[in-house]
Structure 1
Amino acid sequence: MSHEHIILQFNKLFKFIEKEWEQLKLNNELHILEKVLMQGSKMSQLYRSTLMSFMILFLVVPLISPIMDIIHPLNETRSRQQLLRVNYVIFDQNDYFFYVYIQLAWGAVIVVMTVIAADWLYILIIHHSSGLFAVCGYKVQKAMRQSDSDDEIALYKYKVEQFRDCVIMHNEAIEFYNLLNESNQKSYLIQVGINMMGMSVTAVQTVVNFDRPAEALRAAVFHGANQFHLFVLSLPGQVLLDHCNELAKQIYSSTWYNMPLKVQKMLYIMQIRCKNPCTLTAGGLYEMNMENFGITFKTCMSYFTMIMSLKG
């Protein structure tokens, strides 16, 4: 997928969001979408705070030895570990420890802040998609309510019109989901792949470096950050899936059997489409939900336990 195609996809997403926002605002249904988006915003803030805490801890670990040399000096300088294993050909990094540290720390901050900004945007867009299904469920419940009109013909037309709007809203929610899934598949595949490889490598590093607490702690922090990142990537996908399933439950538990036959056919079409879950995938290979995250986490822990037993 070319960069131009990705930019085009995101332009479509943003234009879609703008159009839906204005439409829901005119229909006085924006509060349903805002409620879901507020949940996404809280999730994003928690994600930012947690990842920033991991980053600060990761940056502090290499400074433990220099700080201890000042607080509690020994007859010799304590061994020092950089943030990352680097090799400068033109000079010895141990002679310029703090200069190298500042360079690596600055690079780490830029990478983490970029990841946070990108994931924050993804989380809000996915919650917008979830909110569209929530609005659709709200419209279904609203259309189910009995009207005060005694004119059966007018009531029939009113019900048909209301449920036609529900079907249109459902189609728009599915269209937005398809566009979102198509634009994110390769990105998710890369991120999930990097996270899984990172968890495996840092698990090995943590076990191997048990005799060096600072190195083991740094690898453990990196391992925890990778697991948390995969968790945050999976959670919005689960939220989207839950809202899609909730719509199917709302239709099924409603008084659809009291509706006109034409309305029942509309609801039946919506029910059929709801059977195909709106699941975000990483390249079509890995579904972004909490079940798969749990399986990955369990596999990682089993791998970690196996390495521990071999080392013992």
Structure 2
Amino acid sequence: MVLLKKVSSLFWPYQNPKIRLFCVSMITLITCSMIVPQMAKFVKCDGDLQCIFQALTAYLLTVITLVKLYTCYFNRCKYFLDEIMIDQLFVEWDDLQSPEEFEIMKKYAEKGRRYSLGYSLYCFISIYLFMSVSLVPVILDAVLPLNESRPILPAHPGYYFVDDRKYFYYILLHAVFGWKVAMTGIVAHDCMLLTYVEHVCSIFAISGFRFERLICTSTNSITILHSDTYYRKQIEFSVHTHRKALKFAQLIEDTFSLTLAIQIVLNTVMISITLLQITQKDANYLIMLRYIVYVLAQLFHLFCLSFEGQKLIDHSLQTRDMIYNCPWYEAPIKYQKMLLFVMRKSLQPIFLSAGKIFIFSLENFTSIVQTSMSYFTVLSSLE
């Protein structure tokens, strides 16, 4: 959680409202400074489809940046205003009853930290590789000069109303700073989502562990084994933990569902357009390398969301299996019936969706890739 807070320190949800508003305003201005040259590029294209598609690759990413930014800001006001309620949904270390539960929580916390670190490094490395390709012609002109200077490769598709060669380093500096801030917003949003999903999965795992050990932990004591108070307290505590996981999962769904729908549509279009740039006949190896890095980053982004969505589905369904795996037949009949209610609740999977339409899972990840390939084929036929 410390890593996540450091990455998203520009608009961490629990900052002072004035500081958070100032940070969001500054990030919006910086991101809009990237949109202005991108919009100018559209005008400069003068109806050329290939030029327009090239400008769209960067423009859609800035739009996604703003979508993610305002998701963190406005949904903080809508859903996370009551921090006491949110704290009640978290399972604290003091709530754990055994060393095994402590290890489960520690394992998922470590996974969240590791996933956030890996995702952050991949995203920042990808964006720097994308922009650093523009330095290759400049370096080659210095090392292996030709009779004439090599064509300048812009840091990103955009028109700055000045001579690109004369002001190359100023444009590059602006692009590096702007995209660094934009990528920080993307990483903060996604790492926050990944961390929340991992915590929900840990709550499901602890709940399932408690149900699974409901009878096993009492076999050494006949008195406790036949105690109604014991079964009532243990089942009550396990059900409460399970309900906490369900409420937290529903809160995540309500918070991110709409914006994820916008992102999934834009990502599908972006992948199709990026593939189109790679297959252009007049594209040199530098442009191809740049857009290969870009499309791999987009696929990695979708895969991470789909992977976490699949984990949420699997963990929500495993509770029923853990209940069935415990020696439930040794419990009194009335408590066996209580376990049936929990199993019935676990028959319906909990999922992370985009607009209640697209469910993030590994199976649907392949369908998104296939859809993007279909759009890519259609766009290729238009040229």
Give 1:49's aligned residue.
121
Tell me by how many angstroms 1:191 deviates.
2.1
The alignment partner of 1:208 has SS state of coil
User: For the structure 1 residues 12 and 206, does the alpha-carbon distance in structure 2 shift closer, same or farther, using more than 3 Å as the test?
Assistant: farther
Ranges in structure 1 where 5+ consecutive residues have no aligned partner: none
Give 2:183's aligned residue.
112
Tell me by how many angstroms 1:234 deviates.
1.6
User: For the structure 1 residues 275 and 25, does the alpha-carbon distance in structure 2 shift closer, same or farther, using more than 3 Å as the test?
Assistant: closer
Which deviates more from structure 2 when the two are superposed, residues 64-73 or residues 54-63? 54-63
Give 1:16's aligned residue.
86
Q: Distance in 1 between matches of 2:83 and 2:278?
A: 41
Give 1:38's aligned residue.
110
Give 2:151's aligned residue.
79
Give 1:247's aligned residue.
319
Give 1:291's aligned residue.
363
Tell me by how many angstroms 1:301 deviates.
4.3
Q: Distance in 2 between matches of 1:192 and 1:13?
A: 29
Q: Distance in 2 between matches of 1:169 and 1:136?
A: 6
The alignment partner of 1:135 has SS state of helix
Q: Distance in 1 between matches of 2:225 and 2:267?
A: 59
Letter of the 2:77 partner, please give it.
I
Q: 1:215 aligned to 2:287?
A: yes
Give 1:131's aligned residue.
202
Q: Distance in 2 between matches of 1:86 and 1:153?
A: 72
The alignment partner of 1:84 has SS state of coil
Retained in 2: the 8 A contact 1:240–1:278? yes
Tell me by how many angstroms 1:92 deviates.
2.6
The alignment's C-alpha RMSD in Å is 2.7
Letter of the 1:94 partner, please give it.
R
Give 2:342's aligned residue.
270
Which deviates more from structure 2 when the two are superposed, residues 101-110 or residues 27-36? 27-36
Give 2:34's aligned residue.
none
Give 1:180's aligned residue.
252
Ranges in structure 2 where 5+ consecutive residues have no aligned partner: 1-69
The alignment partner of 1:276 has SS state of coil
Q: Paired residue for 2:173, among 102, 117, 131? A: 102
1:174-229 CA-to-partner distances (Å, cap 9, x unmatched) read 11111111111122112222211211111111111554222222222211111111
Retained in 2: the 8 A contact 1:41–1:124? yes
Letter of the 1:51 partner, please give it.
C
Give 2:134's aligned residue.
62
Retained in 1: the 8 A contact 2:109–2:198? yes
Q: Distance in 1 between matches of 2:116 and 2:137?
A: 34
Retained in 2: the 8 A contact 1:187–1:282? yes
Q: Distance in 2 between matches of 1:264 and 1:270?
A: 10
1:235-258 CA-to-partner distances (Å, cap 9, x unmatched) read 111111111122121122322223
Q: Percent identity?
A: 27
Letter of the 2:208 partner, please give it.
G
Q: Distance in 1 between matches of 2:371 and 2:130?
A: 25
Q: Distance in 2 between matches of 1:295 and 1:5?
A: 29
Tell me by how many angstroms 1:76 deviates.
0.2
Q: Distance in 2 between matches of 1:152 and 1:40?
A: 37
Q: 1:7 aligned to 2:80?
A: no
Q: Distance in 2 between matches of 1:27 and 1:150?
A: 21
Give 1:234's aligned residue.
306
Q: Paired residue for 1:158, among 227, 230, 237? A: 230
Tell me by how many angstroms 1:157 deviates.
2.4
1:88-122 CA-to-partner distances (Å, cap 9, x unmatched) read 33x33333112111111211111112211221121
Retained in 2: the 8 A contact 1:136–1:170? yes
Tell me by how many angstroms 1:270 deviates.
1.0
Letter of the 2:95 partner, please give it.
L
Q: 1:92 aligned to 2:168?
A: no
User: For the structure 1 residues 152 and 140, does the alpha-carbon distance in structure 2 shift closer, same or farther, using more than 3 Å as the test?
Assistant: closer
Q: Distance in 2 between matches of 1:100 and 1:60?
A: 13
The alignment partner of 2:213 has SS state of helix
User: For the structure 1 residues 88 and 5, does the alpha-carbon distance in structure 2 shift closer, same or farther, using more than 3 Å as the test?
Assistant: closer
Retained in 2: the 8 A contact 1:195–1:226? yes
Q: 1:192 aligned to 2:254?
A: no
Q: Distance in 2 between matches of 1:123 and 1:14?
A: 22
Tell me by how many angstroms 1:80 deviates.
1.1
Q: Distance in 2 between matches of 1:110 and 1:245?
A: 39
Q: Distance in 1 between matches of 2:93 and 2:109?
A: 15
Q: Distance in 2 between matches of 1:76 and 1:152?
A: 88
